[in-house]
Structure 1
Amino acid sequence: MKLQLVNLLLFSDKRKNFLLLLAEGPRDIDGILDLLQVSRISLLPHIKKLKEEGLIVQNGEVYSLSIIGDILVKKARSLLDVASTFEENDFFWSNRKLDSIPFHLLKRMGDLKGSQLLEPELTHGLDLFPELINHFIVSSKVMLLFSYFNPHIPSFSLELAKRDIQVQLIFSRDSFDRFSGDFRNTGEKILAKKNASLFVYAGDPLEIPALIAISESALLLGFFNKNGRFEGQHLLNFEPRALSWGKELFEYYMERSEKVCSMDCSDRSSDGRKAFNDL
């Protein structure tokens, strides 16, 4: 891509927004001006430059992307989405430990565009976010990964399982030790439910995010800071592509975790599972 084309694509908000709008389909000039909230006289010089470089095509009052323009805008959109993801919560991302995210998903950080930053309330530091509860108790399937321990996790997980929600739960080694030691009875009740499964990630807790929580409608993410501490901040996203990104991240760690079954499971040797009291 020539530098001149890079400039045309990225270094003017008017051109960028105009091209992104055309990426959705051809538009007439009146609709474009209305959606972009700009004047005709201010947009015409940009249209002239884009036509000269062969990025857009004009048919009467209707504009559309050329084949070259469509290719370049799709490539540029990926970059712009990643930039938007980081810009929306720049201080949060600049202080997070991101090497817990596999490279193939780091390249798609733009899928998390539009995430809301949730801050913990000082008076409710150990409570689970209402967003986690409200969006998850009405779902048919829930995926949860915790590499820090919150005393509300066992009862929350059991409540989900009792509602016949399909629950997949991953703990780090340290958080599972706390769970199996202090909340053993709750853990056995969870594992007794056919709709619940539990896994333990044997690696370093800092190698995985602090929290991944996915329902059918919401994704909640938490990451350790660069000093290896979890500050209680979370990102919440409802977009389908963010949910897909979160599911891939969860499944990546589930494939690298060991499945746990109840104390009295008799078939654990046949599928590699470990009993609750074997771990």
Structure 2
Amino acid sequence: MKLQLVNLLLFSEKRKNLLLLLAEGPRNIDEILDLLQISRISLLPQIKKLKEEGLIVQKEDVYYLSIIGDILVKKARPLLDAASMFEDNDYFWSHRKLDSIPFHLLKRIGDLKKSQLIEPGLAQGFDIFPELVNRFIGSSKVMLLFSYFHPQIPSFSLKFAEKGFNIQLLLSKDSFDRFAGDFRYAGERILMNENASIFVYSGSPLEIPALIAISENALFFGFFNKKGKFEGQYLLSFEPSSLAWGRELFEYYVGRSEKVCSMDYPDSGSDSQRTLQNLK
């Protein structure tokens, strides 16, 4: 009895890796063995099964996906990427609150594959800001979302705004209230820069992730746990697919937020505008 195609795709790490490799382009046997770091004797039986089911084709010493194989791998890839990502940090993901992510992006959460789990040491506590600064140097555009308040957010954001970065800062209503109450001057200084924008998400802080920070080449991501607490763990990724996914998610929340004209939001009337003019 022939093996089901799903079994061929999912139930062998060797076959899965071979199919994903061939999805990138045809390979000869020596390239396959070298890239997969596998012995010829263990690979050949898997090649035989895939050829029998019509998923790969061989021409001389070169293997490539058949039309059917190409279709199935493209359909299966999001599932395989998501499974790989969850397996890499299974405990972290199983305890995160993910319902803040819209369904259309949740289906593509495998785009975050190859993300590194960062756990600050005891001396650092929840302080990710030195790491952010180091990763964001040289970037001209920064997107920041914080649904919890950290006292370094104002100075961190102001530093980038005054360096001429194109910065978008999105805060939960509670975080903005703390910002406007205790760090008002820094907020007004940020808003003086034409390249800087502040947005407020008026819903519950738990309706958005704990943090998103995106530069042109790095993505930081933090989720609340299932009890609604942020434990100081976050993901770091440099993959283009992760950066694109993070930007799309950030823009989704911006589209559901209100742009701030002054730190008097939501009462941004003429007195607030005069405050800005006086600062200038």
Q: TM-score, normalised to structure 1's length?
A: 0.92
Partner of 1:123: 123
RMSD over aligned Cα, in angstroms? Answer: 2.0
Q: CA deviation at 1:64?
A: 0.8
Structure-2 residue corresponding to 1:6: 6
- Aligned sequence identity (%): 74
Cα separation, partners in 2 of 1:26 and 1:213, compared to 1, 3 Å: same
What secondary structure does 1:132 align onto? Answer: helix
Q: Deviations over 1:223-246 (max 9, x none)?
A: 111111111111000011100000
Gaps of at least 5 residues in structure 1 are: none
Contact in 1 for aligned 2:187/2:263 (Cα 8 Å): no
Structure 1 residue 3: Cα displacement: 6.8
**2:278 aligns to what?**
none
Aligned length: 270
Separation in 1, partners of 2:274, 2:121: 34
Measured in 1, the distance between the counterparts of 2:252 and 2:3 equals 38
> 1:140-179 alignment to 2 at 5 Å?
140-179=140-179
Equivalent residue, structure 2, for 1:106:
106
Note closer, same or farther for the CA distance 1:153–1:216 as it changes in structure 2 (3 Å cut).
same
Q: Indicate if the aligned counterparts of 1:126 and 1:151 stay in contact, CA closer than 8 A.
A: no
Q: Cα 1:209–1:11, aligned 2, differ >3 Å: closer, same or farther?
A: same
Q: CA deviation at 1:130?
A: 2.8
Amino acid of the structure 2 residue aligned with 1:156: F
1:138-180 deviation per Cα after TM superposition (whole angstroms, max 9, x unaligned): 2100000100000000000000001000110011010001000
Structure 1 residues 180 and 3: CA distance shift in structure 2, 3 A = farther
Contact preservation (8 Å) 2:120, 2:128: no
Give runs of ≥4 in structure 1 deviating > 3 Å. 274-277
Q: Counterpart in 2 of 1:132?
A: 132
Change (3 A) 1:202 1:264: closer
Residue identity opposite 2:244 in structure 1: S
Contact 1:260–1:276 at 8 Å: present in 2 too?
Answer: no
Unaligned segments of structure 2, at least 5 residues: 276-280
Secondary structure at 1:242 match in 2: helix
Structure 2 residue aligned with 1:186:
186
SS in 1 for 2:75: helix
Shift of 1:51: 1.1
> Structure 1 residue 52: deviation in Å?
1.1
- In structure 2, the partner of 1:220 is 220
Instruction: Find the residue that maps to 2:171 and give its secondary structure.
Output: strand
Normalising by structure 2, we get a TM-score of: 0.92
